[in-house]
A and B are shown apart, each in its own frame.
Chain A
Amino acid sequence: KNQVEQSPQSLIILEGKNCTLQCNYTVSPFSNLRWYKQDTGRGPVSLTIMTFSENTKSNGRYTATLDADTKQSSLHITASQLSDSASYICVVSPPEAGNQFYFGTGTSLTVIP
């Protein structure tokens, strides 16, 4: 069973609207949780990184939240733009395994005009 589950698998929204992507994980304990954006045909790019003690982190129009008690994270995108169309991947790292990472399968977001 994948230790990081993301929802929805795909999402279509109108330009200018907000949206929220979800990430549920079972990795415990963990060191940090990352959100990556992956444009089609390119490698993932880091958006936010949060340690287990943080509950929110912003990067421009992107805001990630973390609830370590419920093992949930969300990525909120405000005032979406066409360039936000991409896959968004949640990644969790346990503290004891060096650089071990657990990847979600991602949410594919399409922003339409």
Chain B
Amino acid sequence: DAGVIQSPRHEVTEMGQEVTLRCKPISGHNSLFWYRQTMMRGLELLIYFNNNVPIDDSGMPEDRFSAKMPNASFSTLKIQPSEPRDSAVYFCASSSRGEQFFGPGTRLTVL
């Protein structure tokens, strides 16, 4: 298995633009998580899905952030409009029976 796959690996955009981050979880895993990591705040859970259904989105910072999981093998995290303070590394992780496996992350820079 290739592990959790995220794309793009790096994204540079201008303030106000829409950004879409993509994640393919490990096949067979029934939970998927989106995290944001910054130097100041460390890792923060944004949202997680169980069997493609959003369970807890209390970590989503504001309405500009949205996440979808249309099927068991794909999820997106969208930021619209993006702001400079959204600059961070965004990780996707999937799990089965509690153990989480993280993807390589997407480094987002909003200018």
Contact = CB atoms under 8 A, between A and B. Distances in A.
Interface stretch (B14-22, B67-75, B76-84, B93-101): B93-101
A42 interface: yes
B56 A98 contact: yes
A56 interface: no
A75 B96 CA distance: 25
Contact of B42 (A32, A43, A49, A104): A104
Interface residues of B, number: 23
Contact of A99 (B44, B91, B95, B101): B95
Contacts of A101: 45
A26 to B, nearest CB: 16
Nearest to B6: A43
Where chain A touches its partner, the secondary structure class is loop
A45 B102 contact: yes
Given A89-B42, A89-B43, A106-B42, A99 B104 contact: no
Nearest to A89: B43
A100 B99 CA distance: 13
B25 interface: no
A42 B104 contact: yes
Contacts of A41: 104-105
B99 A43 contact: no
Given A42-B105, A46-B99, A49-B99, A99 B55 contact: yes
A89 B103 CA distance: 16
Given A98-B56, A99-B50, A44 B43 contact: yes
Contacts of B56: 97-100
Given A43-B102, A89-B43, A99-B33, 16 more contacts: A41-B104, A42-B104, A42-B105, A43-B93, A43-B104, A44-B91, A46-B101, A98-B50, A99-B50, A100-B45, A100-B56, A101-B45, A103-B43, A103-B45, A105-B41, A105-B42
**The 5 nearest A-B residue pairs measured at CB:** A43-B102, A105-B42, A103-B43, A44-B102, A43-B91
